[in-house]
Amino acid sequence: MKTIYLILISLIILISCSEKKKQEGFVLSGTITGAKDSTLVELLKDNKVIDSTFVFNEKFQFSGKVNQPTDMVVAIKNTRNWRPIWIENNEISFSTDIDNFKKALIKGSQTQKEQDIVTQQTDSLITLYVSISEIMRFDTTISKNIFDSLSLELKKIDSLDTFINKEFAKNNPHSFVSLEIIYYNKKKWDKKLINNLFDSLDENIRASERGNSISHYLELGVNPVTGDHYIDFEQPDTNGKMTKISEIKADYIFIDFWASWCGPCIEEIPFIKEAYHKYKDKGFEVVGVSLDVSELQWKNAIKKYKLDWINISDLKDFESDAVY
């Protein structure tokens, strides 16, 4: 009988240790079919590389610990192969092939499952939205009636996408995905709605880093709408001198929020340059407000793309008060 007790106690200890070990952190094991040995894979958070490793026999692995479910990105360095992923302290698998990287199958993350629910409903909408936008932007042969019809379709798509995201956030107060939805739409949606959705979230989610950012946003003034006077702000320029928007002498000021890592922002630069050089002698000024966090990357981008207008940044990414 004593032997049985000892065996039971040993089993309990082993199970307890196993569970404790499992909860200590995450292990992300990946397979990339077709990837060559020494392919560099990066794990990024908010555009910052937090870890990197090499592929060997089409496999890679990351390990670490997060305080809460955290949205990150798995990417192959210097390529367009990247895939968002929710990391939790669990064993997570990542399976894909080199030609369909963004379609990677992810298992072992409950938050990722929740994200997939939203993604499956919105992916086709986003694809359609981009396709219509490109037609409107580049096809110069379409008539005004067709252009107006396409504009109406974009509004319908945007409304449906908004509805899907709102419903998920409203019906899933225990999910960090809901927090991300609220965070990324806080400047797009009505502030009262943001406040109501945020208040419905679990306390531990509201107390997270993203939650604190939303709280700060809600403490600020009401959302400006088209026609309102701008909210003044100041930030340092490339020489460290504080530049205040209200002190810039110009009849028209175009404020361009951008970042060195933002592909769509970079694509818009030629159009901004064209307008700037055409109207700068007629009271038109451009102020580039960078959301970079790296001073070096910010300044290098200014030099690379020859941005010869006013450039300012507090290097705080989306946490900059100017964004709010």
User: What are the chain's domains?
Assistant: 22-108 (2.60.40.10), 111-219 (no CATH), 234-319 (3.40.30.10)
Better-scored residue on pLDDT, 18 or 262: 262
pLDDT at 320: 79
- CA distances to 67, 130, 141, 156 from 145, rounded to whole Å, are 53, 20, 12, 17
More confident residue, 1 or 314: 314
Q: What residues form DSSP beta bridges with 94?
A: 30, 106
At 6 the pLDDT is 45
Q: Is the pLDDT of residue 287 over 80?
A: yes
- As given in the structure block, the two tokens for residue 34 are 């077709």
Residue 8: predicted pLDDT: 46
Average pLDDT over residues 288-312: 94
72: left (phi over 0), alpha (psi -120 to 50) or beta: beta
Confidence label for 5 from pLDDT (cuts 50, 70 and 90)? very low
Which residues are registered as beta bridge partners of 96?
32
How high is the mean pLDDT of the chain? 90
**Tens digits of per-residue pLDDT, 70-129?**
999 999 999 999 999 999 999 999 999 999 999 999 999 999 999 999 999 999 999 999
Residue 153 DSSP SS3: helix
- Stretch 304-309: mean pLDDT, rounded? 94
Rounded to whole angstroms, what are the CA distances from 59 to 50, 62, 64, 89, 266?
A: 19, 11, 17, 20, 33
